[in-house]
Structure 1
Amino acid sequence: MNKLDVKGFGLAWGVLCGVGCLILAWVAMLFDYGTEYINLVGTFYFGYAATFVGGIIGLIWGFIDGFIGGAIFAWLYNKFAK
């Protein structure tokens, strides 16, 4: 069975989550869609809001959160797949 690259998997999930947060914040800013989700996530991603700067902050928080979550997932997968 193949092992997952922990750093690579973490980076992939970090980029995916970060860009997702950025796009959602900018869509909420432009079209007033998804603002409830932005407000909910903004309670633990400090500074995340439906604004241009809030989207950039969400990109950073999403990357950090996605990287940690992806790395933990890959590490656990490698441990259990032996």
Structure 2
Amino acid sequence: MLSVKNFALTCGFMWGGGLCVISLIQLISPTYGVGFLNVMGSVYPGYQEMEGLIGAVVILLYGLLDGVVAGGVFAWLYNKLNS
């Protein structure tokens, strides 16, 4: 059985952290991840209007919330189907 809380938090940290890292790398190398971040900007409202570190923090929070919800639903469904 998966721990729903632990799996949800892990998914949130991984997704949010990954998005934040890509956003920070894009600050250093402006051509890196442009297409991916444009798609994420269409998914997460308000991200495209923000630049720099504020944008990285915003996408981190969006990714954290999204990952926690998706990971929690996945772990809950896995446990239901596995029992």
TM (normalized to structure 1)?
Answer: 0.90
- Structure 1 window deviating more from structure 2 (61-70 vs 36-45): it is 36-45
**What amino acid maps onto 2:27 in structure 1?**
M
**What RMSD over aligned residues (CA atoms) do the two structures have, in Å?**
1.1
Q: For the residues of structure 2 that align with 1:51 and 1:74, how far apart are their CA atoms?
A: 34
Q: For the residues of structure 2 that align with 1:30 and 1:55, how far apart are their CA atoms?
A: 12
Q: For the residues of structure 1 that align with 2:52 and 2:42, how far apart are their CA atoms?
A: 15
Q: Which residue of structure 1 aligns with residue 42 of structure 2?
A: 43
Q: Which residue of structure 1 aligns with residue 67 of structure 2?
A: 66
- Which of 16, 23, 35 does residue 21 from structure 2 map onto? 23
Q: For the residues of structure 2 that align with 1:35 and 1:51, how far apart are their CA atoms?
A: 14
Q: For the residues of structure 1 that align with 2:62 and 2:10, how far apart are their CA atoms?
A: 15
Mapping of residues 49-60 of structure 1, within 5 Å: 49=48, 51-60=52-61
- 1:33-59 deviation per Cα after TM superposition (whole angstroms, max 9, x unaligned): 001111111112123245211110000
Q: Which residue of structure 2 aligns with residue 14 of structure 1?
A: 12
Structure 2 alignment gaps of length 5 or more: none
Structure 1 alignment gaps of length 5 or more: none
**What amino acid maps onto 1:77 in structure 2?**
Y
Q: For the residues of structure 1 that align with 2:36 and 2:47, how far apart are their CA atoms?
A: 11
**Pairs aligned (count):** 80
Given that 1:15 and 1:66 are in contact with CA atoms closer than 8 Å, whether structure 2 keeps it comes out as: yes
TM (normalized to structure 2)?
Answer: 0.89
Instruction: Among all aligned residue pairs of Structure 1 and Structure 2, give the percentage whose two residues are the same amino acid.
Output: 35
